[in-house]
Every structure is written in structure tokens, then in C-alpha cells.
A and B are shown apart, each in its own frame.
Chain A
């Protein structure tokens, strides 16, 4: 065991989701020394498994006023500071013939009182501005929804934290919390890359582990009642809608259709699952059928639009009462000062909330940390743009204008993904513009940039940073090419083959619940190439 007593961080943050990365950024910007540890990769928890909806908060206006208010404020902030992660395409709340039209006015009022700008528009106009919408709609309200890419958002926060001096360790899992009597002083970690154990020490340890925070808290000797609520979603092969489509009714299953980058997705469901299932989630046949059925009500063309994959995430909800669906639990932010709550100092938990409010959660956590460390620095995360979003004369109008003249497909796509940092994808060799992933337009240069600077350990990480394998072929052509590049930079070839096999298995996990039609064709083709021609196996060593 390595004893690393020489360095004591101000803050150790457990969890590389939006909350953890956001907190790392805020702390680092305020001059604290930060270590962020994450057991797998950035955004592998609920952060990477949600709608990607830049909430206007309208959805919660009627049932949860506080949440709605927080949402719209953060919505406006994110448009400013994270514009390269965000698409400001607005949203519609549709009233269908089977819904209660009276709900619309209640909805509008609630939005207004929460500060969410709404506009009731004529169904005819709705059909024109959003041709994919269900033509039978009887009412529509326009809201400032949008889409956000959670992987980009998290990575940008992590990058900014790093730029401000933070250290980031992915593939490091907390196996124990080090206590000295009633004080938490550090964490014990295992490095999944080389199976080595290591210890790190910090003045304050932050539990930002999402639903896994329950387990981490237990390691520290305290108890938090967390409520795993699984939600399933479907990703479609291409963008069907321009604007976000919602149902104008009390929140229920499968009533949000969100466009994002090259795809759109429908979600979600809500189902209580036992705690031991949270790392092993599969999307059931019933979930798929419900999502398609309800999705078609929002946009009829979904009935035969190709589905790319199905996935599920777990909401980190802190239990308050016995609601079996978890839907009516307040999604408010939960900040627990364990010194006050449990008599354990040096340990705080920041959880609950939603992707939209991560920055606010980070601010509240960092405020508490600074208070404990007697540091008097104000939060600036709402004012300073994230790396990739710095464009000086940025207004609401030109934020959405992307200048594409003279750029290749790969360069344009890279700009969408990395904003002002996209130049790094075209920095090096002469082959850099060649495409690795043709579906999503990812070049060799971008892959190399991700490998070199964005903490990529394997193909699945690479996929999150660059969208390799997220297109319609689901890795059929590009996985092998990307594996070759990774092999070049990082791994031994033997490990790369297993990595490739893992990547294909991970893709299959998302394809198998919807394995029919074009998906089954694609799967058969992929199997023929990798197993048939290449001779790849599940275990290649």
C-alpha cells in the first residue's frame, strides 16, 4: 500500500459526473487544491444516461415550483457559459386530443410564476415550425427548452478544473474512507488500470457519487437513504424533430422527445429497483414498447424510424416518503453537512438535483467547503465560460450561428463537439483529417486529441469524448479503426483486442433490446466482420 502523506489536498471529490466535475471546477477556480477521483470515466453515472435536456423547468412548474425556478435560472446560465455543449432549439408542450386542454392554462400560469417564458401558439403554427409533430395536436406552448450534451459539459468542467490546478484520476475507485476518530481525512483507492492500491489525503472529502453515494457514505460510516429509480430511454437513428417535444400534462412516462446532435431520443420510464441492481441495468421489452407507444404520440414518424439503441440510467433520489415510483420525490438539491447531521467532520455529500442544476449544486457545495476552510472567495462559475465556449462578443443570436465555410466534415463536427478547442483536432499530422468514424464525422486528429488530452483509457471513454461509435453503424466500421489508434498510443495490442471486444459488447447491450429491423441486420453484419473475418472473441488473451 502506498502511503501518500506528503500531499494533503484541500478537497477530494468522489465522483466524475457533472456534479463532481462542476464542484472540482468551482473549488479550483476559488484557489483550492483539488483531487477528483472517479471509478470509471467521466459521466458514466446518471450524468451520461439522461435525456440530455436543457430543461426550461416547465415540466416541473405545476408540481414542483422550486425545482422549476432553479431550472430556468440555470438554463440561462448554461446557455452563456456552455454554449458549445448546448443547442438552443426551444421546446413545445403539446396537448393531444386525449389530454385535458384545461391543464394548459394552469401550466402557463405556473411557468410564469417560476420565471419561465412561455408562448401559446396555434396548432397550425406548431405544425409548420415543427413538421414532425403529431398533426392531431389541439394545443401547443413554446418554452425555452434546449438540448445539452452531458459528456461535453462534464468534460469541459473537468478540463477547466484541470486548467485551474486540479488533479483528475479516472479509473480510481474508492474502496475505503480514511477516518481519524470523528474526522474524515482521506480515501483509499484502487487503480483499475494496474490494480494498485493508493491512498490520498484531503481536508474535506466530498461525496458526489450520485446513487453510488449511498455506498460511499456507508464506507464513511454514515447512512443516507437513497432511492434508485431506473429510467429507460431510446435513441433514434437521426433527428426527427428540431424542437424538444413534451406532453402538456402532469409528468408521466415517455413524454419527452429530445433532439441532440445527430439523433433524437425518447424517455423516460420510472421504476424502483433494488440497490444491488444499479450496476446491472437492462432495458426490458415492456419499457421499449411503452417508449415507442408514447413516443409515437408525440411524433408519428417514430413508429418506423430506426432505433439505434436503448439504455437505462438510475436517478440519485434521496428518499423522503414512500412513493413507489419516485416520481413525486422532490428533485431538489440535497446538500448534507455530515458534521452537523452525523457528527462526522471533513465529509459532505452533494446529491439529488438534476443535470440542469449541477452548477448550482457545485456552487452550494463549494460555498460550504469554503466556509469550512475559512476561504473567502465568491463563486464565478456562472460568469466565466467553460473551455470551448469562450467567444468574446457572444450574444443570444450569434451563439447559435456556427460558421462552417471552408471546413471539412470532420472539422465542422469537431467544432460542434469541442467549440473553440476544436483547433486541437487539426493540429498534427498530415493524415489528421481522415475519418475514423464516418457516421459522426470524427477524424484521426480528433481521436488523437482525445487520447492525448481528454483522459481516454479505452474505446468506451473515447466514444464519450468524440462520438466514435455513436452513429448508425454502432461501431461496426469505426471501432476497429479507433482500436488501432488507441493501440498506437496507449495499450498493448492484446489489451486493445479485449477492449475492442468490450466495446462491441457495450454497443450490443444497447442494441439487443431493440434487435429487429435494421438493427438486427447491422448486428449480423458486425458479427460477420469481427467474429467471422477477424476471429475476434470475447476474451482474446
Chain B
């Protein structure tokens, strides 16, 4: 099977590459081993939130002090602003409404009631201008009876620090009885599915309106609109008070919805999405990757002019660690990481973990390197690049989005 481009990995990075290429008329395929980490997405994409423990308010400005090996520096700070404008536009065209500015972080409330700086936030969630600027003083936190994954007491405590008085109330409805009785299935996605069906929304809104009388704002878990986006819009319309949605324990309902929309957009543009398939190996010749072989397609190889490896980090097995080595499991590409496993981690869980920085070696044009030599038509994008602890500095989505857009620019040249 022949394509213009094949992308390995169907997460944020892979889909961004695929959509941009497909928008430019390229015939693309994405091969993904399963559903991606977008399923755990909080609702916000970070560009740069922290440097050396200090919060960042102006990411593009702050980026200049990052190390040369950081993906942003490698993309080129001069390109960041343009790419950071391109990203939300691409997402918007896919039906994902994100708002935010690259040169000025806004804040979102986490499920622990903490204010975190971020770049783009999905319109399900509220954006705040500053850490202290929660505009209400009296809040009611509403949870579903028996839903353990929404931490009302932590939110209440966090709001107290923001000088907000919050009360907790529970909502019980017969439509949720069945899943509540199932010991393991009272989860955000199952609640969302009940709302998707349509017959619970009005009743729920009525109850919320009743319980939020006397309060300025209602805080709810983000369990609306899994396969049906309209539910997310309707819930805010039907409730009389301002509504603040907060994420619950993953899987994330807005995350899954986003993944589906991105995947649909890719396929509508003519892209082929091979879901639940693994790439086993590739055929290389003269510093080029000619084709790849996957588990499902076996001897029917997938050929392309250019390939993008967007297989992520350890979690998605883009990089594998055994007790005595690190390796890239598909092609055996060179890895940037310590060979001594005792160097991989820090004893303190909340400290900067060295393994989070590891990635696949690439040259200045993001070509993957194998046995010291660059592969001309194999690029690496996303968290597989390493070069930063994206978690600590709040840059995961930014690196995924911007490196993907940039890599596609290299291919289109």
C-alpha cells in the first residue's frame, strides 16, 4: 500500500502531523497501537508553564532561556510564535475550540483546587486571567452520588485558599443507579454516556438549578459530551448560574471527545487510520526508509516517501527500558539517555526524573539517527524527542503540537 506519508503513532503529535499533511493534499496513513494519551487530557494544552520551579507568565519570552537541546530551541524561537498561532487554528478546523495566547499564559483550576498557568484551554473549561482572579465568592460543588473520582473536598480546600467559600452537595438520579451499583464502573465516561443518550440532561439541570440557589457559581465534574458534543454546550445553557467544569480522574471525557474529533478530521481529509496495529520493522536502503511492516498487514508493506515517528515516550512504548538497557523498539534508532539504569530516576517522586528527558536522537532537521547516521526521510516529532522534562515545565502539548507542525514544514519543503 502506497502513501505519500506514514505517521507512526496516533496521539496528539501523530494526528497533528496527519491533519496538516492531509490539509495540504497529501495521502496519509497513521498507524496506532491503541488509543492515545489524549484520553487523559486535562482540557488544557501547555506551552511553557515553569522554568526552574518558577512560574512562567510569558512563554515565548521565557523560552529564550531554555537550553539549546530543548525542542523549542531546536525548532527555533523565531518560528515559535508563528507555529503557536497555527496550532489552535488547525485544532479549530477540526472542531476543537481552544482559546489562549502564546505570549501570555492564562490560568485554569485543577481538580485539587490549584491554579495552574497554561496556553490553550478547551472551551468546556474556564480561563482565568490570574492566579487570584476567581471571580466568585460563594460556590457550590456538585458531585454525583457514589462518584469517587471527583474530589470535592480537595477542591473546596483549594478554593478556600483563593478566599472562596464553597459547599459540597450530591446529586442522585435513577438514570445513574445502574452504573452506580456496578462496583467498578461509576466512572466519568459511563456518566457521560448516560447524558449522551439524552434523557438525563434536563432533569439534571433542574436539580442543579435547585441546589445552586443562593450560590454564585456551580462547580461540576467534566463528564459532559463524550460522543455527543452538543451535551457539553447544552449543560451550560440549561443551568442558570455560571458553570465551572473541573476534570475528574482519567479517562477524560473532553479528552476522548477531542481524540475522536481529531481522528474524524484526519479521515474526512482522506487520511487512513490503522487503529490497533503495531509497526514491527522497516526496510532501510541508502539512508532511507522504504517501507514498514505491521502486525496486521504482514507481507503487504506500507510504503511512503516520508515517515514520521510520533510514538511518544515510555508510556506509549516509544522508548522501552529493560533492566539493563534503553531502546527504541520499532527500528532500533539511537537513544539519548543514560546506559546506567541507576541514573534513570531520582529517589524523590516529585523531583525532576532524569528518564523524562530521554528521547530518540535526531539531527538538526529532526531526522531520526540510526547507528550514528541520519535517516533522510524518517522524522521524529512529539514527546519522543526528549530534551526536556515536559511534565515539570508544563510543555508537553506545546512540544507535541509545535514539533509536529515544524516537522511537517520540513517535509513539505
Contact = CB atoms under 8 A, between A and B. Distances in A.
Interface in B147-164: 148-149, 151-154, 156-157
Interface stretch (B274-282, B298-306, B316-324, B367-375): B316-324
B349 A533 contact: no
Contacts of A505: 348-350
Interface residues of B, number: 49
Contact of B157 (A494, A523, A538): A494
Interface of A: 282, 285, 288-289, 292, 408-410, 430-431, 433-436, 438, 443-444, 477, 480-481, 483-485, 487-488, 492-494, 496-497, 501, 504-505, 507-509, 512, 514-517, 520-521, 523-525, 527-529, 531-538, 540
Contacts of B323: 288-289, 292, 514, 516-517
B97 to A, nearest CB: 20
B227 interface: no
B392 to A, nearest CB: 8
A285 B391 contact: no
Contacts of B346: 512
A529 B154 contact: no
B238 interface: no
> A-B pairs with the 7 shortest C-beta distances?
A493-B157, A508-B349, A535-B110, A535-B114, A538-B350, A516-B321, A431-B146
B184 interface: yes
A528 B396 CA distance: 10
Contacts of A494: 157
A156 to B, nearest CB: 26
Q: Which of B317, B345, B348 has the most CB of A within 10 A?
A: B345
B154 A524 contact: no
19 contacts: A292-B323, A434-B186, A477-B249, A480-B151, A480-B249, A484-B148, A488-B153, A493-B154, A512-B347, A515-B341, A516-B321, A516-B344, A517-B320, A517-B321, A520-B314, A524-B356, A531-B392, A533-B110, A535-B116
A436 B392 CA distance: 28
Contacts of A282: 347
A509 B344 contact: no
Nearest to A433: B183
B313 interface: yes
Nearest to B319: A520
A333 to B, nearest CB: 36
Contacts of B353: 523, 527
Contacts of B322: 516-517
Interface in B28-50: 37, 40, 42
B111 interface: yes
A480 B110 CA distance: 14
Contacts of B152: 484
B130 interface: no
B98 interface: no
A282 B346 CA distance: 12
A531 B350 contact: yes
Interface in B208-265: 247, 249-250
Contacts of B349: 504-505, 507-508, 527, 538
A537 B110 contact: no
Contacts of A288: 323
B145 A487 contact: no
Nearest to A478: B148
Given A509-B347, A528-B40, A493 B153 contact: yes
Given A408-B183, A531-B391, 6 more contacts: A435-B184, A444-B148, A484-B148, A517-B323, A533-B42, A533-B250
Nearest to A527: B391
Interface string B42-66: 1000000000000000000000000
Nearest to A516: B321
A285 B344 CA distance: 12
Contact of B40 (A431, A501, A521, A529): A529
A404 to B, nearest CB: 15
Nearest to A438: B184
A214 to B, nearest CB: 26
Given A515-B344, A535-B114, A434 B154 contact: no
B153 A533 contact: no
Interface in B361-393: 391-392
A520 B349 CA distance: 12
A497 B154 CA distance: 7
